[in-house]
Structure 1
């Protein structure tokens, strides 16, 4: 029998397309900001071959095993499938991430655009790592491949479909021009598990719930659940390699039930040293290459800053929401644990533009109306945008209340703050 040791720890038309793109500039920061960091994951095509019989282990011991894992070399094949309950935005979400436009500084290989596509649908990936300075993530489809590669301080992204490349040199902190290196993108179960375990605290229950076989390897199942009611998060399950402590599978369930919001895991994995060629890249002949510095300067010249991420929204990942987000100067956190709500003041202190104001095309307004519900209270009026994981209330006076909580909890928070 598999061990079942439970230990709780404190732990159609051009006009329509343009309208949808403009609408995406308004909805993406509400519906996707904080969802991407929390839900970009990998889905296994896993066939169960029977639960392995492994020695019993406590939740604390399993967490320590994850923390002590020193496996820095691996390669494998994974899939990503995310069901947030929102329409697929595709490149619209990416256009927001770049500042919302098709200006001269934009590149079809920009990592922020391509990696944001992982927030919906199903994708196949190849991943590889050789220590902290060499990583590669490739997104595969039937006609093209997109790769994000880091080798030392050099970061390359290449889209074979458009034959475009994006190049950045890191500044020593792992960042350049606001664009991610591969290791900063949570595209492995380990990265996702670390976010969740960082959030564990007094409002969290952590247990061991049996064993599993993942990508041909024996694993323990660690289950993390909020102990509070009112959260949209039902549970996280992490399958941990019994031998080396590496998370192999990650599944996120919503408290409302239904299929997994994120179901993440390797389909094939090898913990040997990857080939050095995995981390080298030379742009093919005829490739359009965009330098990060040039793109940034061009966007500044064009004045194409776009709406930008809501201040403090970068703190709304799994760790931020679960452990009490540390927002920016325009962000205040209400509540604690998994029920934490971030109150964010939007740039300029204004709410969503309306059709009546002439700022939003009819097609864009229709798109927004389809995603949001009008609400009112002591705070005045506003619109609630809903996903299966993160909900957000944007008031007409320019405040946003966002969290992995129910819409009713957001309205209550806004009323209490009025």
Structure 2
């Protein structure tokens, strides 16, 4: 079989490519005016060769930096063997991936999917099925409790339990079966749980809301309450998990293990979309052939990259780096309080930074930082998020903090 090589398009400038994007792409994003063409480690380079320090890391999808050699090598090896079989057949990479991931987080079974939103949707289905078959909830009555300020994705079901008007407005009618309670409020959660509650779904740290960290004891309280009421505790660690906070899982700060764990983003090493739902055999065992699936979920290429990610985390190096450099990040932000920063929250290499609104919106600060060669993401008014690769050096981190100080004047 002979393959022809497609003609290479003539080089276009950043400005030309931005105009083309705006013309041919749906406007569901509002990206900064930076056109990335190459990347390595903590740095990206645009079409014209300008370099930027990446302090977003793909919303934690790039925990190990751009093009980590071990992950790229794992992908290349697998590309030479087989990339996709679908789950109609077994493949030689999936069992090893599931075994390694289960051992890493301490849960028995894995349901492989692709995106974070798919993992959340899968968890909702599993929780409802478990409620009917195991807990004894009457058919069609199961509810899932979620927290205000949540971000779990943007599918129709997920925006049904969001309280973000930007995500919801114009997309109804919404999926029923969800109850919203304040985040970090155990009393409100206890009051909301009843005989029809299948699960409590929360982020151990709310990322999109501005890296909101709950009070000490909250996660342990959720664990105790859900265990006592025979309710599933589902932890969405799609952003917070896999080393970001200085531990493999953010729930480890309170030494708790949820009934269901949702992982994604960094699980694909910044190369392929990989997500997973992990739980006990009792819980994931409610699924039977034909009831749930994904054409690409668990494909050999994803499993090979995911296994390489697990290997990196098993060294403990990245969790340690997040803890140690997280102290540098927190200290640097504290030094800026009163100098344009009104407050900040951080855990490991993850921070939400509140900027004095008089200095600009989060978007405006992001644009100014891009001018300084540093990429961040805004969220909610004048808050920016910092989530650099866990491979970042102290010097690179201090470069970003210096740039923020200059932008704030």
TM-score (norm 1): 0.22
Higher helix share: 2
TM-score (norm 2): 0.22
Higher strand share: 1
